[in-house]
Amino acid sequence: MLLLVSPIDVEEAKEAIEGGADIIDVKNPKEGSLGANFPWVIREVRKITPKSLLVSATVGDVPYKPGTVSLAALGAGMSGADYIKVGLYGVKNYNQAVELMKSVVKAVKDFDDNKIVVAAGYADAYRVGAVDPLVIPKIARDSGADVAMLDTAIKDGKTLFDFLSKEILEEFVSEVHDYGLKCALAGSIKKDHIPILKEIGTDIVGVRGAACKGGDRNKGRIDRNLVRELKELC
């Protein structure tokens, strides 16, 4: 199971790299769960990240605006991101989600077919009116995305497991794999959750708070020793 760690700047990225993270995921928590960072930050992080490691970038908790989002996704790819993550926040249903993600996939793959597109839903989608999280595998499959992901939209201390049981998550992972895709799970993941996620076959686990001093995704800073502990569990 790969460990994805989400730094907000170059210094945090260095800590994540030193701690052994597999994917360096550039994000901006000030703009939400999957808040987008700036193109120059993505470029700087890609520059200091070993070529053997993948750099990921979020393009935001996005609205239902396929043109806007596909342009943002292309910008992330051109800035050096290998993984481009789209948070389907303002998308209400399957049809809207597939339309939006198809636009993203086309924009990114036309630029570089090796880039990896991630369709990300929210386990607590009902709290923000987003698309049902259990439809995300089909959205990823039918839009041509490479990875189906779940996170939590509202960061109030509740975790992925507060909204979806281990059994439902196991079915989610299995469905994603049946479609030949990879599965990523995040959402205020704690150290104790990692063995469970590994057991159910998760391909990628995403963390920020658990890798920060004090466990605070907003006020804390990523620490290499915490990253190392999480990596060992993976």
Residue 139 to residues 49, 105, 130, Cα–Cα distance (Å): 31, 12, 13
Structure token pair of residue 137: 């595998």
Q: Is residue 16 classed as helix, strand or coil in its secondary structure?
A: helix
92 is catalytic: no
Contact 129, 164 (CB under 8 A): no
CA–CA gap between residue 116 and residue 102 (Å, rounded): 13
Which residue is catalytic, options 27, 115, 182, 231? Answer: 27
Q: Whose structure tokens read 């987008």?
A: 36
Which residue is catalytic, options 30, 51, 65, 85? Answer: 85
138 is catalytic: no
Q: Which of 137, 172, 160, 162 is nearest to 207 (CA)?
A: 160
Residue 49 to residues 20, 182, 194, Cα–Cα distance (Å): 12, 23, 24
SS3 content of the chain, % helix, strand, coil (to 5): 45, 20, 35
Question: Which active-site residues does the annotation give?
Answer: 27, 85
